Structure 1
Amino acid sequence: MKTFILSVAALATSASLAMAQDVVRLGTEGAYPPWNFINDSGEVDGFERELGDELCTRAELTCEWVTNDWDSIIPNLVSGNYDVIIAGMSITDERDEVIDFTQNYTPPDPSAYLAMDEGLDLEGAVIAAQTGTIQAAFIADKGWTLVEFATPEETIAAVRNGEADAVLADKSYLAPIAAEEDALMLLSQEEEIGGGVGLGVRESDTELKETLDAAIQSMKDDGSLNEMITKWEVATTF
């Protein structure tokens, strides 16, 4: 993830609580199935659409959906373009320095490698990852050769055209692609990265965070969150 330097003035501008608004705006990428994607009707769909709608119902919030490119999704939350990030974002210490997170709504999803050669030597390979992800940071920390792309689709294309030898991403994203394309396969090696996925909110929006935390906990308590995770196959259950 990029480091975002935020001035006190910028934080003050976004200090008003989203709970005081008539509408709470949910920001997502819309390009990472099955977590979030745009369906044939042009609407946000996927696990996080269903989850977000249910959380808003339980919290008695009126919500609307906003899409935003991944590489600017945190700055645009802080600047007030929306009030919540719900975009498959793993909870990390670095991100938590800039925004706040709710409790996780999925456990950590294994990260997997997608390649065209099952015998690939990862240490000597060129590995693609989406910019600003935990996977990109992992590859960089390992000292391996990393190429970054703005969208997940571009990382897959890089393997297809030989620009990269493999992609590292959430297994739930890569598995359907491997199942559909004979030339692409998941490698046996997987990585456990991050602390699960949570909702991102501005650090000033403590009331909104507490309300959403309570809604997530209620779904954990009644088993409906595990049912939703299983339906969309995004992670292991709690």
Structure 2
Amino acid sequence: MKNLILSTAALALTAGVAMAETVRLGTEGLYPPYNFINDAGEVDGFERELGDELCKRAELTCEWVTNDWDSIVPNLQSGNYDAIIAGMSITDEREETMDFTQGYTQPSPSAYAALSADVDVNSAVVAAQTSTIQSGHVATTGATLVEFPTPDETVAAVNAGEVDAVLADKDFLAPIVAESELVFISDVYLGGGIGMAFRESDDELRGKFDAAIASMKADGTLNELLAKWEIEGQF
């Protein structure tokens, strides 16, 4: 596992409120526009802005931690951070071991992309990032699934001719398709939107973030962030 990268969110609490214990937010840092590492080596993207605002509204001091996707859930459970905010879709399977906030995105399309629009995605060799809803979906079709640790590797596999197509979040693929020879083949809707994930024992903390998400929906600031980062499906 790569070294954990920490960057303090430096959020001031309101006057009269005692300094709370630091809450650690785990993300991947490899999935733009949701989360990525910028040129300064810091976590950036839609979820960085969202997480910082949620911490401010919940009157919490927060710190960012990056972790490889394939071990992001085990490291939550082992206490390396307190919540996951990493483009993680809410699914029944994940809710068996974690608790989620309400979604801070609407269920948005995943998409198949390939070098040819003639690829039959139900019989082709299809790449997807490991332990994602996309890889789970491909496994239920007649396609041959090939999993990769990172989303960039799934795209590279298509370009290198190692696989016929890739299935990933359309928000992630859109700028890549626009600047390459890849073309979209079809969309598929998976999961129940994206939310923050918590250990089942941390219901009080989850509730604070859930209330903060609700307040951002109510005053329109969540929709503003979604529009800024060109993420589909406003509330």
Q: What is the TM-score of this pair, normalised by structure 2? A: 0.90
Does the 8 A contact of 2:20 with 2:60 survive in 1? no
Map 1:199-238 onto structure 2 (within 5 A).
199-238=196-235
Map 1:1-238 onto structure 2 (within 5 A).
22-181=21-180, 183-187=181-185, 189-238=186-235
Q: Per the alignment, in what secondary structure is the counterpart of residue 142 of structure 1?
A: coil
Hey, what's the Cα distance between the residues in 2 that align with 1:53 and 1:235? Answer: 21
Amino acid corresponding to residue 90 of structure 2 in structure 1? I
More helix by share: 1
Over aligned residue pairs, what C-alpha RMSD do you find? 1.1
Q: Per the alignment, in what secondary structure is the counterpart of residue 197 of structure 1?
A: coil
Hey, what's the Cα distance between the residues in 2 that align with 1:121 and 1:140? Answer: 15
Deviation at 1:120?
1.2
**Runs of 5+ unmatched residues, structure 1:** 1-19
Does the 8 A contact of 1:34 with 1:172 survive in 2? yes
Q: What is aligned with 1:16?
A: none
Does the 8 A contact of 1:89 with 1:197 survive in 2? yes
Amino acid corresponding to residue 72 of structure 2 in structure 1? I
**Runs of 5+ unmatched residues, structure 2:** 1-18
Hey, what's the Cα distance between the residues in 2 that align with 1:96 and 1:121? Answer: 32
Q: Say which structure, 1 or 2, has more relative contact order (CA 8 Å, 6+ apart).
A: 1
Deviation at 1:143?
3.2
* Identical-pair percentage: 66
Does the 8 A contact of 1:117 with 1:185 survive in 2? yes
Deviation at 1:21?
6.0
Q: How many residues of Structure 1 are paired with residues of Structure 2 in the alignment? A: 217
Hey, what's the Cα distance between the residues in 2 that align with 1:197 and 1:212? Answer: 14
Q: Per the alignment, in what secondary structure is the counterpart of residue 216 of structure 1?
A: helix
